[in-house]
Amino acid sequence: MQFAVFKEDIQGETRVAAVPDSVKLLLKNKHSVLVQSGAGRAASIPDAHFEAAGARIVADAGQLAAMSDCILRLRPVSAQDAQSLPEGKALIGFLAPLRQPELAPILARRRITSFSLDAIPRISRAQSMDTLSSMATIAGYRAVLLAAGHLPKFLPMLTTAAGTIRPAQGLILGAGVAGLQAIATARRLGAVVEAFDVRPAVKEQVKSLGAAFIEIPLTENLEDKGGYARQVSAETLARQQTLLHERAKVADFIISTAQVPGKPAPRLITRQMVEDMKPGSVIVDLAAESGGNCELTQAGQVVHHNGVTILGPVNLPATLPLDASRMFARNLANFILEITNEKGFTMDWNNEIFAETCVTCNGEINQKRRTT
């Protein structure tokens, strides 16, 4: 198959869907790769490096699309952009079909075979393809650096000529990949950390990284079959907020990462909780793009409220474009090799990875993909 890699056209996006190493991997498996001129420039990957790996550079985006069998994208394709995709092509990327319900019908009408990387199942066989986890790792790491940059105090304990400076106290909400990476990074920088998650199963992971785990007695199962957190009941949410309110009062920084696939982010930090935090405290809300875990979060903005700084960063992986592109591209190449053979797509509906990531095929919307 001939894959096309485009320069991402969303403002602020610096990553690219392929890197020279992933190009070599695809070529080794008898595929070919076309790359739009300048696609890797923002990630510090010049065209010459793609050419040296065996890719062909194409300047015109329209020509690139026409020549390809499958378009590789990193950011979600909007419904408007989908209208202009060449009919009969294939598309792989973060499509977010649950957040864009209007997208799948458009792709089906245009007979575009499409796969959404955000639907890769959480199974051991798919770990090498898990782009969400790769990007969450970067977000968790960068979130701690953002918090440290806005705090009016050190993260580690220091013994100085002026006396001993106590370490900062951090609170991590959500112990998925981003949360665990935030814990690890904050601990490396010397902060004292505690973490909360609705899934009791992550307790040992949190403790293994040197953080304390905040427990709330639960009467419901809050983990779905894919390992993601479920939406909690109103009663459980109320108990959570009562306990988190007390922990927020002593925190110097909070990093919130809690999200539910396909749904608005759960509201964990209320206005009252913010107003009861210490002056100079910082909140980094990694769920800003899906509505925010904090009531006062504004996506892409820095909000100052009652002496507390609230950051709502979007697309943090794009702030580390070279390694983010390398990680994404390797995951993507592994996924492509899983769902293709020398003739094209395997069309193996018994393959859980193929069945759950395929959004549209043969002019129809795939009903087998995970919708919860």
pLDDT digits (tens, 9 = 90+) for 259-289: 887 788 989 999 999 999 999 999 999 999 9
Q: Residue 321 pLDDT > 90, yes or no?
A: yes
d(Cα 266, Cα 292) in Å, to the nearest integer? Answer: 7
Report the pLDDT value the prediction gives residue 224, as an integer from 0 to 100: 55
From the candidates 2, 127, 233, 272, which is the catalytic residue?
A: 127
How far apart, in whole angstroms, are the C-alpha atoms of residue 372 and residue 353? 16
Residue 223 — pLDDT band, cuts 50, 70, 90?
Answer: low
Which residue among the candidates 22, 36, 68, 133 is catalytic per the annotation?
133
Which of 118, 130, 252, 285 is catalytic? The answer is 130
Mean per-residue pLDDT, 330-359? 96
127 catalytic, yes or no? yes
Is residue 114 within a helix (H) or strand (E), and if so which, with residue range?
strand 113-116
> Does residue 197 carry a catalytic annotation?
no
- The pLDDT assigned to 331 comes to 98
Decide whether 2-119+324-365 matches 136-319 in CATH topology. yes
Q: What is the pLDDT of residue 193?
A: 98
Would the pTM count as exceeding 0.85? Answer: yes
Arithmetic mean of pLDDT, 340-356: 94
Of 90, 134, 130, 122, nearest to 359 by C-alpha is: 90
**Confidence check: pLDDT of 226 > 70:** no
Q: From CA 235, how far away is CA 200, in angstroms rounded?
A: 17
User: What is the CATH superfamily name and number for domain 2-119+324-365?
Assistant: NAD(P)-binding Rossmann-like Domain (3.40.50.720)
For the stretch 107-165, pLDDT in tens is: 999 999 999 999 999 899 999 999 999 999 999 999 999 999 999 999 999 999 999 99
- Cα-Cα-Cα-Cα dihedral of 240, 246, 249, 253, to 10°? -40
pLDDT score at 372 = 43
Is 141 a catalytic site residue? no
Question: Looking at the predicted structure, is the pLDDT value of residue 167 above 70?
Answer: yes
Dist. CA 131–CA 328, nearest whole Å: 6
Pairing of strands 56-58, 32-36: parallel
Q: What is the pLDDT of residue 194?
A: 98
CA 81 to each of CA 11, 363, 368: distance values in angstroms, whole numbers, following the listed order: 15, 18, 25
Active-site residue among 141, 169, 228, 256? 228
Average pLDDT over residues 171-192: 97
The single residue of 99, 111, 122, 267 carrying the catalytic annotation is 122
Highest mean pLDDT among 79-88, 227-236, 237-246, 313-322: 313-322
Structural domain boundaries in the chain: 2-119+324-365, 136-319
Judged against a pLDDT cut of 50, whether residue 21 lies above it is answered with yes
Tell me which CATH homologous superfamily contains domain 136-319: NAD(P)-binding Rossmann-like Domain (3.40.50.720)
Q: Report the SS3 class of residue 275.
A: helix
Q: What is the pLDDT of residue 7?
A: 95
Active site residue 47: no
What percent of the chain has a predicted confidence (pLDDT) above 90?
A: 83
99 is catalytic: no
